Structure 1
Amino acid sequence: MSITVALYSHDSVGLGHARRNRALAYALAADLPRLTGQRVRGLLIAGHPDATADSLPPGWDWLVLPGFTHTRQGYMSRSLDVSTERLWHLRSATATAALEAMSPDLFIVDRHAFGVDDELLPALETLRAAGTRCVLGMREVLDTPEVAAAEWERIGGASAVAHYYDAVWVYGDRNVYDPVATGEVPAELADRTHFTGYLSHGRPDDLLTESSVRAERPYVLTMVGGGSDGGHIGLAAARAALPTGHRHLILTGPQMPAEDHQSILDAARSSADAQQIKVSRNAPHVPHLVREAAAVVSMGGYNSLAEIMATTTPALIVPRNGRRQEQLRRAQALAAAGAADALHPEKLTPQALSGWLEEAVSRRTARDAVDLDGLMRVGDFAAREITPRPVGADLFTAPVPTLNETRPLPHV
């Protein structure tokens, strides 16, 4: 006997969704055999090929869907020369076929209940009829309550989500930030919403190899997640003065535009500290680099901060300054909890970073007041979900979306 788990992330921008699911995969692979006495296998469905650079537990594998990307004109094919409609059909059919073949006991979807433009609805119908338990996993901050409410409405409201999903897992500490209290998670879903704690302690950390990106200690670290919109932070970091005796490792991310990456390289080479600065696209062992750093500057994405909070490394969060308020609200909440410092993006300058780095490298940051043990609990949460249920049993009787409805493509 074995348990099969499938996880989905749409990954139109960044790698945060896939990295979160990867951390869950390792936690479930470690804990479910102990809790259930059965071996566990799994499939991670992702939407960006860079996701596969990260390893998975034995018996697990990646399925990468042809990618969507977000442009000024909306969501379009990332690489294939096909229409948005044709790509939607390809992704939806591929995901549905894979899930039918795997017949998972548990299906975990990251953030977007129905995927890109409802691409998951055919699969969810099939899984629901087969008795698969379905979980919607949510980061702790979505956006302003008004924006979040509009997004829920666009996918059919809480009733549509409740029809397909047995539970909602919020990957955070409700004492730091409570999206149910703010209204970002609708009240209708409150009775099936469970807070896991931040997915921090126990995140997978790939082994160092001869080709691994390294920095000689002491060093400071700047990282901007996938990098698609982190060029301004990397540039300010490359121009910042370093604390005496320290080196600087700047991770620009695999998705940073080439011109932004080149600007950071040029700034680093022209710096008075040029010999002490290393710029790299990516490193598979970020948790190790964060632990060993004297201080870290980071954007406010969930996964970057989850990795940082598992350490005592002082952190300065410079949140994304764009259409979404998610990173800014997270930065403010974690700063209020004493887990990190925050710098409003409008105040970002090389001088501001220089001053913070000079002070931060002489201290460490205790984060014991924040619940960081979510990965140690998800096995128990999953084991409780994997219970017999009558095939095809309704979870909610309110109207649900139909497969031929057209809805706006989701935000990241």
Structure 2
Amino acid sequence: MDISIVLYSHDSVGLGHARRNRPLAYALAAHLPALVGGTVRGLLIAGHPDAGRDPLPEGWDWLVLPGMTRSSDGKGFRPRRLDMHGERLRDLRSATIDAALAAFDPDLLIADRHPFGIDGELRPVLANVRARGTRTVLGLREVLDTPRVAAAEWDALGGAEQVAELLDAVWVYGDHHVYDPRLTGELPGPLARLAITTGYLGHGRPAGRPSRGRTSPKPPPPYVLTVLGGGSDGGELARIAARATLPEGHRHLLITGPQMSDADLQEVREIAAHSGDATTVVHSAPDVPELIAEAVSVVCMGGYNTLAEVMATSTPALVVPRARRRQEQPRRAAALAALGAVETLDAAGLTPQDITAWLERSVTTRTDRTGIDLDGLSVVPHLAARLLNSSVRTAPEVTSHAV
């Protein structure tokens, strides 16, 4: 049968949600056709213009919505660029999504992290697609927030039971031996009963935007790497890392992230210039997973996608998690550090000397992460096939991940 899939991410802050959906698109495009016996096409709905710059599989495309971002008080959302009231833009986005899905008629809709999108923009969409027979999935990173904050967020949506009524499944993109939101209380009973852990989306992640006209910024080895995800909140760590003293004979590549402000980027470049040519600062790179794998050490924040890429290597990692607004990153870093997969330091009080000391220690070591399940991208197509057609035989490894 021929299958149409939609993956949604609202992308109000950074690109973490779209960066999870894109490797899922590649995995589904590569493996689902053999499981369902037909073609697979897809549409990725995103809320940030930078999302659409990265390539997609053949037969897939982006639908980039007018952007919304958090208001200055952090309690709501406002248009990123359009001069119109936030509620009107939310309605415009909702109507756009609804019209697109009515025309595209997907068999499967996967929403990343937020089941109803920004200010409920997906709520009427979910009701409409389910009436047409579309299967609906909520995809979640393994850590949401503290249990108290997570419970308040589910309550604000009308309660976990109401959310669960509009879903067929919840896929948790993590290893339950590392962190299980069903046990911490972040996933209440009605949603926990729908939830399956897939393994981290680590192995098999696709490359970034094509490097046509761009060369990799990879310095001559040996080099240490600082990578800050989207970079919108990485300015302070970038400044500290740029001031660190490098181990003798090593170079330093610092990738700020495409969402770092121009002012922060300029300041980091000025700091790095004092090291002569030992530190190279770039806004972005097309081959971050390869750069992480070939670095002798990496300093990073605690975002899901960055750590999924780190976990797929043996490169020692120092994680300095963002701790404001959410406790997601500190909780993830602590869980991985407890297994010896990373080391972690708090951002508060962090100094260049701390990073200097860690680099001196780490550049001659490697880290064994073979015990962590990183095979989510090979598991999700089997889960999708099972959801779309209960008669499809699932591979044995799905059972071990899903139980």
Q: Is the 8 A contact 1:100 1:123 kept in 2?
A: no
Task: Report the CA distance between 1:208 and its aligned residue.
Answer: 5.0
Contact 1:54–1:284 under 8 Å retained in 2 = no
Please list every run of 5 or more consecutive structure 1 residues that lacks an aligned counterpart in the other structure: 390-412
Task: Output the CA distance in 2 between the equivalents of 1:39 and 1:364.
Answer: 42
Q: What is the Cα deviation at residue 71 of structure 1?
A: 3.0
Give 1:304's aligned amino acid: T
- 2:214 aligns with one of 208, 211, 218: 211
Residue 247 of structure 1: aligned partner: 251
Partner SS, residue 106 of structure 2: coil
- Match of residue 260, structure 2, among 256, 261, 281: 256
In the alignment, residue 125 of structure 2 is paired with which amino acid?
A
Alignment: residue pair count:
387
Secondary structure of 2:78 counterpart = strand
Runs of 4+ in 1 over 6 A off after TM superposition: none
Distance 2:67 2:119 in 1: 13
**Secondary structure at 1:41 match in 2:** strand
- Residue 35 of structure 2 aligns with an amino acid whose one-letter code is L
Give me the TM-score of the superposition, normalised by structure 2: 0.94
Between the aligned partners of 1:387 and 1:100, the Cα distance in structure 2 is: 22
TM-superposition CA deviations, 1:317-336 (whole Å, max 9, x none): 10002021000000000000
CA contact (8 A) 2:109 2:134 kept: yes
User: Counterpart of 1:164 in 2: which secondary structure?
Assistant: coil
Superposition map of 1:66-215 within 5 A:
66-73=66-73, 74-206=76-208, 209=212, 211-215=214-218
What residue number does 1:7 align with? 7
Q: Which amino acid aligns with 2:139?
A: G
CA deviations over 1:178-233 (Å, ceiling 9, x no partner): 11101000122222100000000011124655513322221111111111111001
Distance 1:388 1:123 in 2: 25
**More divergent stretch after superposition (130-139 vs 73-82):** 73-82
Counterparts of 1:368 and 1:46, CA distance in 2: 33
AA matched with 2:359 = L
TM norm structure 1 = 0.92
CA deviation vs aligned residue, 1:166-185 (integer Å, no higher than 9, x gap)? 00000001111011101000
Contact 2:302 2:322 in 1 (8 A): yes
Is the partner of 2:193 in helix, strand or coil?
Answer: helix
Code of the aligned partner of 1:190: A
Matching of residues 296-307 of structure 1 within 5 Å: 296-307=298-309
Does residue 340 in structure 1 map to residue 335 in structure 2? Answer: no
CA RMSD of aligned residues (A): 1.3
Report matched runs for 1:25-36 at 5 Å: 25-36=25-36
SS at match of 2:165: helix
Contact 1:337 1:370 in 2 (8 A): no
2:7–2:110 contact (8 Å) kept in structure 1: yes
Aligned to 2:310: 308
Matches within 5 A, 1:23-62: 23-62=23-62
User: How far 1:388 moved relative to its partner?
Assistant: 7.6
Moved more, 359-368 or 65-74: 65-74
CA distance in 2, matches of 1:166, 1:212: 44
Instruction: Check whether the contact 1:222–1:297 (CA below 8 A) recurs between aligned residues.
Output: yes
CA distance in 2 between counterparts of 1:279 and 1:382 reads 41
The aligned residue for residue 285 of structure 2 is 283
Moved more, 68-77 or 297-306: 68-77
Amino acid at match of 1:370: I
Q: Distance in 1 between matches of 2:37 and 2:330?
A: 43
Counterpart contact for 1:26–1:56, Cα < 8 Å: yes
Q: Percent identity?
A: 59
Distance 2:313 2:62 in 1: 28
Residue type of the alignment partner of 2:365: R
> Does structure 1 conserve the Cα–Cα contact (< 8 Å) formed by 2:142 and 2:174?
yes
Conserved? CA contact 1:173–1:370, under 8 Å: yes
Cα distance in 1, alignment partners of residues 37 and 365 from structure 2 = 45
